[in-house]
Structure 1
Amino acid sequence: MSVPLYQAKAELFRTLGHPVRIRVLELLQDGPKPVRELLATIEVEASNLSQQLAVLRRAGMVTSHRDGPLVMYALSTPDVADLLAAGRRILGAVLTDRDALLDQLRADEARAVPAIGGEGDSAEGREPAGRRR
């Protein structure tokens, strides 16, 4: 029995839920790479990289083949690179929106907070006398 599409999509995104896997996919965007090059660039234990490569292989996101003594890895489809690019665009938009929202919030706070201790200072906006520390 096949799984629903939404469940398959969730599994795909779970596969992307590890920083080493994302880094491997990013590095493979430039073309096939031997394991030793991935290992030197990512700087994780060989066993950890091997585990993460196996997860990516099982998910169908990468392929591997032998080239003499080297095991080479490559993206299984250019769509994987497109997915990473979409992730970067989404992250950029989200972070930009958050920065803009944070800037707006700070500007609103600066306008709303009355100056304390300046000329014309009133009791408005201050704590009651009995609650001061």
Structure 2
Amino acid sequence: MNQNIQQFKADFFKALAHPMRIRILEVLSEGDKNVNELQSILGSEGSAVSQQLSVLRNKNVVYGLKEGTSVIYSLRDPLIKDLLSVAKQIFDNHLVDAISLLKDIRKET
């Protein structure tokens, strides 16, 4: 595979590699929001939200459009919503496997 494509993918996944950035993407997958709305939903201070949005913007995962005095943030690609859904399914599958293993262990003891 082309080295540039691998680097692009690695950079993309690095942009997702933070709990607050994942949560921001989950919120934005439900609809566009400004920083104040994101701050309120996330229960986090604005500087932390702005910092994480900056990472996501720099990696072209989200974009912002200025409307008056606010910037409204959106997912750059709606497929990110699907990516988050697939990631949740993978996580759920791992949990099901772990729970099943735990039940087997408990049966043995």
TM-score w.r.t. length of structure 2: 0.91
Aligned position for 1:81: 81
Query: d(CA) in 1 for partners of 2:73 and 2:15?
Result: 17
Runs of at least 5 residues in structure 2 that lack an aligned partner in the other structure:
none
1:69 Cα deviation from its structure 2 partner? 1.7
Instruction: Give a deviation string over 1:37-59, Cα, whole Å, max 9, x none.
Output: 00111122221111100100111
SS at match of 1:36: helix
What percentage of residue pairs aligned between the two structures are identical? Answer: 40
Structure 1: gaps of 5 or more residues: 111-133
Structure 2 CA distance, aligned partners of 1:10 and 1:90? 19
How many residue pairs match? The answer is: 108
Deviation of the 1:6 alpha carbon: 2.5
**1:44 equivalent in structure 2:** 44
Which residue identity is paired with 2:34?
A: P
Equivalent residue for 1:16?
16
Give CA-to-partner distance per residue, 1:15-34, whole Å, 9 cap, x none. Answer: 11111101110000111111
Give how far 1:3 is off.
4.3
Distance 1:5 1:106 in 2: 45
1:57 and 1:15 map into 2 onto residues whose CA distance is 9
Relative contact order higher in (CA < 8 Å, ≥ 6 apart)? 2
Task: Calculate the aligned-residue CA RMSD, in Å.
Answer: 1.4
- TM-score with structure 1 length normalisation? 0.75
> Which residue in the other structure is 2:99 paired with?
99
